[in-house]
Structure 1
């Protein structure tokens, strides 16, 4: 078994490749080829959590598990909020092949999955991208989404104006796309074609009245049943898709809250993004529709991304 560090993952797992790995993996999930456990979350103190995930890419494919700690109140400049390990096993011998640093795998595959969903659901003429949040996922989403779609403008909002300005400058330098910070959510998303919520918000920061007709929204920040980033009215207003139907019905806070309030029923969840990729469920039907992709993240994504990295490193090493 080899250990693959965060630095190796960052050097090997490019966004363009990972977007296509996510497209294939999520299609396999929706076709029923893969198997996965619902994410198990053990609450710790002070809002911290320990997560356990396990699954397989399907018959003849690799299988594995992810163990991750979530420390949402980390100090600025400190270690990442998500730390852990992804262990992947050989499908033939059953031997562990590799252990990957989980934080970097999670960061790149999550943003790449959102980029893939954006490519599938956003209007073809989408040009303005708004990102709500200033953490690790905000950075990776700003890097990944322009790989899938061309954008003329990126907007950043965060609770800390200084962090938002710093991130906007960094994104402009990295992408070559004009990027500016905004002091309020409504201003940041006004007339935005694509919106990504990647915050640690406990209560909705994005409401239906802020979102323009025809926008696509990636809802990413909340990973368990509790904190919500968008309100019930926005859930109800959009064509709603999940990364994993079972996971979102069990742990997707925004949809579950909207169902509990009576704003929508379970039928409002139209399908998984993999269903749209496969052509089994229509995605966007018209230019004025709002589309929503709810991302919880799942082990199939981790195994697919991790195994891709493993194979690339093995090829480079001539093994």
Structure 2
């Protein structure tokens, strides 16, 4: 059994590697998934399991403490570990640092969705939220869409947005902190949102033709980041029906109100990767809900473990 640290993960991972691991995993049969979520005073513990026949099985256990980034010193809001099991023998192959793996998995998932759905000539990205996932999402999206020339950043705390913009500028990326979210949405070819919001931030009326919307933040039944108009103006896709429908407010709330129906979900990541669904024209708006799932962690963990062993 290998113990794989965050440093190990960073030493072998790249965005092309992560995206390709997820793409290859979605050429296999859908995973068998089970989740458990418990809450205490706004804090959460999430345990996700997945079995991917022909690849591997695994468990990810994480805690989610929203107040941690404001601690002194700051702590990650998400902490945990991933257990990777050999699919044939059933033994534990590796224990991997969950925080680092989650970033690669989550942003890689969104980047793979963008590679299937966003226009290849997009120029402007809007990052909604400047938390721990913002930079990985920006880097992952830029890796699959090198045409991106400018990054706009909006955050409720303007100072955090400006700090992220400065970090991007230090790395030679043209970036701008914005305060008018609707105006920024109307400028963006790609909108990626990673917040803890329970009220819609992205208004469909502001979306321009041809935009791609990547919704990452919502992960509980009460959370959502885009309004009904965004989902009805755009064609809606999800990474996994099993982890979004019936689990996440982004989809559950408009389904319950009748704003959308299950038939409005145009496909999942298996459909996108296998060419069964996708963008149909340059002018249509596409919306992708990144719901996550342990199957994605297993795909990335399997690729990382192989890379570490080869090294």
Same fold (TM over 0.5): yes
Aligned with 2:152 (options 126, 149, 155): 155
Partner of 1:73: 67
Partner of 1:255: 251
CA shift, 1:266, in A, is 1.0
Question: CA–CA distance in 1 between the matches of 2:69 and 2:21?
Answer: 33
CA shift, 1:177, in A, is 2.3
Matched, 1:10 2:5: no
Matched, 1:288 2:258: no
Partner of 1:173: 170
Q: RMSD of aligned C-alpha atoms?
A: 1.3
Matched, 1:146 2:142: yes
Matches within 5 A, 1:18-33: 18-28=18-28, 33=29
Question: CA–CA distance in 2 between the matches of 1:209 and 1:25?
Answer: 35
Greater Cα shift, 125-134 or 77-86: 77-86
Matched, 1:119 2:130: no
Question: CA–CA distance in 1 between the matches of 2:152 and 2:11?
Answer: 27
Q: Secondary structure at the match of 2:280?
A: coil
Contact persistence 1:69–1:83 (CA under 8 A): yes
Question: CA–CA distance in 1 between the matches of 2:34 and 2:182?
Answer: 35
Matched, 1:51 2:46: yes
Contact persistence 1:198–1:219 (CA under 8 A): yes
Deviations 1:176-205 (A, max 9, x none): 221111012123222210000111111111
Contact persistence 2:192–2:214 (CA under 8 A): yes
Question: CA–CA distance in 1 between the matches of 2:102 and 2:69?
Answer: 20
Contact persistence 1:273–1:293 (CA under 8 A): no
Q: Secondary structure at the match of 1:305?
A: helix
Partner of 1:188: 184
CA shift, 1:225, in A, is 1.2
Greater Cα shift, 176-185 or 193-202: 176-185
Contact persistence 2:192–2:216 (CA under 8 A): yes
Question: CA–CA distance in 2 between the matches of 1:135 and 1:279?
Answer: 33
Aligned length: 308
Partner of 2:274: 278
CA shift, 1:52, in A, is 0.9
CA shift, 1:293, in A, is 0.6
CA shift, 1:11, in A, is 1.9
Q: Secondary structure at the match of 1:250?
A: coil
Contact persistence 1:142–1:171 (CA under 8 A): no
Deviations 1:37-67 (A, max 9, x none): 232211122x1111111112213x2111111
Contact persistence 2:69–2:76 (CA under 8 A): no
* Unaligned stretches of 5+ residues in structure 1: none
Deviations 1:111-149 (A, max 9, x none): 111111111101122111100000111110111111101
Partner of 1:133: 129
User: Normalising by the residue count of structure 2, what TM-score does the alignment of the two structures yield?
Assistant: 0.95
User: Normalising by the residue count of structure 1, what TM-score does the alignment of the two structures yield?
Assistant: 0.93
Contact persistence 2:33–2:242 (CA under 8 A): no
